[in-house]
Structure 1
Amino acid sequence: MSQPISVDVPHNLGAAEARRRIQANLHKLEGKLPAGATVTPAWEGERLRLDVAMLGQQVQANLEVFDTRVTITVLLPPALAFFGEAIRAGLRQSGAALLEDRTRTD
Structure 2
Amino acid sequence: MTEPIAIDIPHKLGRDGARTRIEQGTGRLAEFIPGGMITEQRWEEDTLHLAVEALGQRVVSRIAVEEARVHAEFDLPPMLALFAEKIRAKLTRDVPKLLE
Same fold (TM over 0.5): yes
Measured after TM superposition, the shift of residue 93 of structure 1 is 2.2
Structure 1: gaps (5+ residues): 101-106
1:7 maps onto 2:7 in alignment: yes
Partner of 2:66: 66
CA distance in 1, matches of 2:85, 2:33: 15
> How high is the sequence identity, in percent, across the aligned residues?
40
Higher-Rg structure is 1
What's the TM-score, normalizing by structure 1? 0.85
Shift of 1:32: 4.2
**Contact 2:30/2:52 (8 A) holds in 1:** no
Q: Is the 8 A contact 1:72 1:91 kept in 2?
A: no
Partner of 1:90: 90
Rate the CA distance shift 1:47–1:6 in 2: closer, same or farther, 3 A: same
Moved over 4 A (4+): none
Deviations 1:26-70 (A, max 9, x none): 1222344302x1113211110001111123111111100011111
1:32-43 correspondence runs (5 A): 32-35=32-35, 37-39=36-38, 40-43=40-43
SS at match of 2:67: coil
In structure 2, what residue type is equivalent to 1:30?
A: A
* RMSD over aligned Cα atoms: 1.3
Alpha-carbon offset, residue 90 of structure 1? 1.5
Shift of 1:78: 1.2
The question of whether the paired residues in 2 share the 8 Å contact of 1:41 and 1:48 is answered with: yes
Count of equivalent residues: 99
Counterpart in the other structure of 1:16: 16
